[in-house]
Structure 1
Amino acid sequence: MIKYFVYIIYSKSYDSYYRGYSTQPEKRLNQHNENKGRFTKNKGPWVLVFLQSFSTKREALIRERKIKKYSKSQNIQLIASTKNELI
């Protein structure tokens, strides 16, 4: 069964967060660090700081849409929360 993930990556050099969706978050992180993403290009290195899994693509895309509207402080709160599977 395929899992769907919503992730947040962070660039310390730009003090910037990027939120996205993927079925292969580690591979996607590598793509961001290889400058293959439009927004993340030349802003790395990127570090995975949040990962949440979903059983359906629809759930993951709804969640991604929601967190893309979050402010920086809301991102920080989410990363520190129990919803973060990296903790």
Structure 2
Amino acid sequence: MKYFTYLLYSEAFDTFYKGQTNNVLERLHRHNSGREKATARYRPWKLVWFTEKKSRPEAMALERKLKNLSKERTKEFIVKYSKGAGSDV
């Protein structure tokens, strides 16, 4: 099974959400449909970055590291690790 660590961005609230899942698109849908209580008030969410990990523990470890980043450091991380793709956050 594949696991992913991902970053969402809410333009309306200028905030990030950092998480991990085994299905990025389904998870994004859950966040944007309001089915996730912790993120419902910040909708809509935009997927701004994700990466695949070999195991759930690896995905969770990266999620923990990302959650310790400030908003500015998160933006820098996205730019650095987006493989040349621009970021509008």
TM-score between both structures, scaled by the size of structure 2 = 0.88
The Cα shift of 1:36 comes to 1.2
Amino acid at match of 1:36: R
The residue that corresponds to 1:11 in the other structure is 10
The Cα shift of 1:52 comes to 1.0
Could you list the structure 1 runs, at least 4 aligned residues long, displaced by more than 2 angstroms after superposition: 84-87
- After superposition, the Cα gap between the structure-2 partners of 1:23 and 1:85, relative to the gap in structure 1 and judged at 3 Å, is farther
The residue that corresponds to 2:72 in the other structure is 73
Larger relative helix fraction: 2
- After superposition, the Cα gap between the structure-2 partners of 1:65 and 1:50, relative to the gap in structure 1 and judged at 3 Å, is same
TM-score between both structures, scaled by the size of structure 1 = 0.90
| Backbone CA RMSD of aligned residues | 1.5
In the alignment, structure 2 segments of 5+ residues that lack a partner are none
The residue that corresponds to 1:57 in the other structure is 56
**Aligned residues between the structures:** 85
- After superposition, the Cα gap between the structure-2 partners of 1:25 and 1:86, relative to the gap in structure 1 and judged at 3 Å, is farther
The residue that corresponds to 1:42 in the other structure is 41
**What is the distance in 1 between the residues matched to 2:7 and 2:54?**
18
